[in-house]
């Protein structure tokens, strides 16, 4: 069975005081929880790992540099992330693709850098509102999968997050049928490129305005194995019911 995963992306929110949410979340987790990952801002990674000790909650970063080291002022390498105790790193989030002009090939290199450091890459893809309204979603997704996923992907080194850009932070969510269509399409594309064994193992997350009140519906989709959650991951009281819905699915 594929593993289920709930990942919280705190983005540029929170300070060390917010790490108390990890302890609070731990107390609210179901008895048999799915995998839970919290991705705080980079300066909090080490302390987040300490705070999560013994809770079963894993820590991830929100981005890494594609090079292992060097003269890249302000950037963070995957090995530095791994050194904090984190196990995951998000790459290719639409906010990075947009604000930092990251292209598919950059995302592909970052995924490889993550693997080289022993991290699992959470590779994000998703279409703009314009592409969604022009019915170009599947073409965009196919292009991003082809360009952002390295050939060396395995069933264990990668998680893929489908995040329609128009759904992020907007409260708008695709219909269940639309989510099913895209996730089935992604699974089929993975199978064609990597074979059924690998394709069946890679968790596919949905992301974009996942909230306690819509999570159970989204998790009905057979090829949705979890969620990448922004706003609703900041507070344990919001994230816990989403994790519960995933455990129940």
User: What string marks each residue from 114 to 153 as x (binds ligand PGA by CB under 6 A) or -?
Assistant: ----------------------------------------
Q: Are 216 and 245 in contact (CB under 8 A)?
A: yes
- Going by C-beta distance under 8 Å and a sequence separation of 6 or more, which residues neighbour residue 130? none
102 is catalytic: no
User: CA of 176: how far to CAs of 11, 91, 109, 173, 203, in Å?
Assistant: 26, 25, 32, 9, 18
229 binds ligand PGA (CB under 6 A): yes
DSSP result, 1-70: -PPPEEEEE-TT---GGGGHHHHHHHHHS-SS--EEEEE--GGGHHHHHHHTTTT--EEEES---SSSSS
Tell which one of 60, 92, 203, 208 touches ligand PGA (CB under 6 A): 208
209 binds ligand PGA (CB under 6 A): yes
The residue among 226 and 230 lying less far from ligand PGA, judged by its C-beta, is 230
Q: How many CB atoms sit inside 10 A of residue 16's CB?
A: 12
- Which residue is listed with tokens 């089935």? 184
Q: How far is the CB of 111 from ligand PGA (least distance, A)?
A: 17
100 is catalytic: no
Catalytic option among 65, 93, 132, 183: 93
The residue among 52 and 229 lying less far from ligand PGA, judged by its C-beta, is 229
Q: How far is the CB of 90 from ligand PGA (least distance, A)?
A: 8
The residue among 47 and 211 lying less far from ligand PGA, judged by its C-beta, is 211
Nearest Cα to 41, choosing from 90, 107, 114? 90
The residue among 80 and 210 lying less far from ligand PGA, judged by its C-beta, is 210
Binding site for ligand PGA (CB under 6 A): 9, 163, 168-169, 207-210, 228-232
């Amino acid at each position: 069975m594929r593993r289920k995963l709930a990942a919280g992306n705190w983005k540029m929110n929170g300070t060390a005081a917010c790490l108390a949410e990890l302890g609070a979340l731990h107390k609210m987790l179901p008895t048999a929880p799915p995998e839970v990952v919290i991705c705080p801002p980079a300066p909090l990674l080490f302390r987040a790992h300490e705070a999560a000790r013994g809770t079963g909650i894993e820590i991830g970063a929100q981005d890494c540099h594609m090079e292992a080291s060097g003269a890249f002022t302000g950037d963070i390498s995957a090995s530095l992330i791994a050194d904090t105790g984190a196990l995951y790193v998000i790459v290719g989030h639409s906010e990075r693709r947009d604000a930092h002009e990251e292209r598919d090939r950059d995302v592909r290199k970052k995924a490889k850098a993550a693997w080289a450091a022993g991290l699992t890459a959470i590779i994000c893809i998703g279409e703009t509102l314009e592409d969604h309204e022009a019915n170009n979603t599947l073409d965009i997704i196919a292009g991003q999968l082809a360009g952002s996923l390295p050939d060396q992907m395995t069933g264990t080194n990668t998680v893929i997050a489908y995040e329609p850009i128009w759904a992020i932070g907007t409260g708008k969510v695709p219909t269940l049928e639309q989510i099913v269509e895209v996730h089935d399409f992604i699974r089929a594309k993975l199978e064609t490129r990597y074979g059924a064994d690998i394709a069946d193992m890679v968790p596919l997350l949905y992301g974009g305005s996942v909230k306690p009140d819509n999570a159970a519906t989204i998790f009905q989709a057979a090829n949705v194995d979890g969620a990448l959650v922004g706003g609703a991951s900041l507070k344990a009281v919001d994230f816990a019911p989403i994790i519960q819905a995933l455990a129940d699915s």
